[in-house]
């Protein structure tokens, strides 16, 4: 049995908050482990143990209201360290829509998301920390705000979030596609690398190797096989609490979580997940821009994604 078949089996049952899932796990854990042990192919250095750790983690459902679920877990021994993961799961069938926004000047998501009547938000794509502008293609409505620099195209930008009337797609991206999308209707935010497409691992071999392989805090948007939208953060730079992960590990995590399409967003000190009504100014992960493992280290950013 291949790793792909195993991942399909596991992703069918990753409804962490459901009684059905918990009952299934209790009755079938041994069988699942046998299936995993029969698997022989995983992406790069990700192991069977990593897959089991994700599936059997003590996921805590913090909030489940009106089509939005916030779940989190601290998972030891995942990708050679402890990982702190937060997920905002959005069900578009409940009328929830996704938006792309830019700040105009660098601003914290916790301060500006409310202006968009956002319920939740995640940091967006890469930007110039000195000038404050996006360095990836950003189009909101009919306004082209920024274009992708040649350096970013060479380094990591191979995908984009395309939003039209609140519905989203994750699409491949390059210089020629960017030219075509300047006149298209809808909003676009380029980022990268694109990690999953149609349930398969996307090719990131042309991206900068150091960026791909180094462990960092990471942010991502993911579309699942079940039609859900995930905003995902994995914290880092705290050896005891959150080691951080690289791109192959992030792709593997999202695949095990049932991802069909997935795009890496800006990470590092920019990684932030915000939820309206949550304590700590709404920041639910542990941003590291202050070098402390707390909720106070949020960085000012140039753009973000939000649900409303």
Q: Distance (Å, rounded) from C-alpha 264 to C-alpha 195?
A: 7
pLDDT of the residue at 184: 87
What DSSP string describes 89-132?
EE-GGGT--EEEEEEEEEE-HHHHGGGGT-SEEEE-S-B-TTT-
Tokens standing for 66? Answer: 């009106």
pLDDT of the residue at 182: 87
pLDDT of the residue at 3: 45
Q: Distance (Å, rounded) from C-alpha 295 to C-alpha 279?
A: 9
Contact indicator for 273, 86 with CB cutoff of 8 Å: yes
Q: Distance (Å, rounded) from C-alpha 15 to C-alpha 88?
A: 13
pLDDT of the residue at 216: 98
What is the side-by-side order of every strand in the sheet holding 218-224? 60-65, 68-75, 83-90, 229-234, 218-224, 259-264, 194-197, 200-201
Q: How many C-beta atoms lie closer than 10 Å to residue 34's C-beta? A: 11
The DSSP bridge pattern shows strands 68-75 and 83-90 to be antiparallel
In 3-state terms the chain splits into helix, strand, coil percentages (rounded to 5) of 25, 35, 40
Domain regions of the chain by residue span: 6-49, 59-307
**Residue 188: which of 179, 196, 201 has the closest Cα?**
179
What DSSP string describes 60-88?
EEEEEETTEEEEEEEETTSSSS-EEEEEE
Q: Distance (Å, rounded) from C-alpha 69 to C-alpha 90?
A: 7
**Residue 284: which of 123, 94, 171 has the closest Cα?**
123
From first to last of its 308 residues, the chain has per-residue pLDDT tens of 344 444 444 444 444 444 444 444 545 555 555 444 444 344 556 889 999 999 999 999 999 999 999 999 999 999 999 999 999 999 999 999 999 999 988 999 999 999 999 999 999 999 999 999 999 999 999 999 999 999 999 999 999 999 999 999 999 999 999 999 988 899 999 999 999 999 999 999 999 999 999 999 999 999 999 999 999 999 999 999 999 999 999 999 999 999 999 999 999 999 999 999 999 999 999 999 999 999 999 999 999 999 99
Q: Distance (Å, rounded) from C-alpha 222 to C-alpha 238?
A: 25
- Which H or E run includes 179? helix 175-181
Tokens standing for 135? Answer: 């360095």
pLDDT of the residue at 273: 99
Give the model confidence (pLDDT) of 136-158 as tens digits. Answer: 999 999 999 999 999 999 999 99
**Residue 153: which of 128, 178, 129 has the closest Cα?**
178
């Amino acid at each position: 049995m291949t790793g792909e078949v195993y991942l399909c089996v596991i992703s069918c049952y990753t409804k962490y908050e459901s009684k059905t899932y918990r009952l299934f796990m209790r009755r079938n854990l041994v069988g699942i482990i046998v299936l995993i042990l029969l698997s022989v192919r995983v992406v790069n250095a990700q192991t069977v143990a990593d897959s089991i750790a994700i599936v059997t983690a003590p996921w805590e459902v913090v909030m489940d209201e009106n089509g939005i679920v916030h779940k989190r877990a601290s998972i030891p021994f995942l990708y050679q360290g402890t990982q702190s993961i937060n997920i905002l799961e959005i069900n578009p069938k409940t009328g929830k829509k996704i938006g792309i926004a830019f700040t105009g000047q660098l601003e914290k998501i916790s301060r500006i998301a409310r202006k968009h009547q956002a319920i939740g938000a995640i940091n967006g794509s890469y930007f110039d920390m000195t000038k404050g502008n996006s360095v990836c293609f950003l189009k909101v409505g009919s306004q082209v705000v920024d274009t992708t620099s040649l350096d970013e195209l060479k380094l990591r930008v191979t995908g984009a979030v395309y939003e039209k009337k609140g519905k989203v797609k994750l699409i491949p991206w390059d210089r020629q596609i960017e030219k075509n999308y300047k006149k298209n209707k809808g909003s676009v935010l380029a980022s990268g690398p694109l990690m999953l497409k149609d349930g398969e691992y996307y090719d990131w071999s042309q991206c900068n190797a150091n960026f791909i392989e180094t462990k960092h805090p990471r942010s991502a948007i993911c579309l699942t096989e079940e039609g859900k939208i995930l905003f995902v953060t994995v914290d880092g730079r705290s050896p005891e609490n959150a080691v951080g992960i690289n791109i192959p590990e992030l792709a593997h995590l999202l695949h095990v979580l049932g991802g069909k399409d997935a795009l890496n967003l800006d990470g590092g000190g920019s990684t932030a997940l915000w939820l309206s009504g949550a304590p700590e100014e709404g920041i639910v992960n542990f941003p590291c821009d202050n070098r402390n493992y707390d909720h106070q280290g949020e960085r000012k950013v140039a753009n973000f994604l939000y649900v409303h």
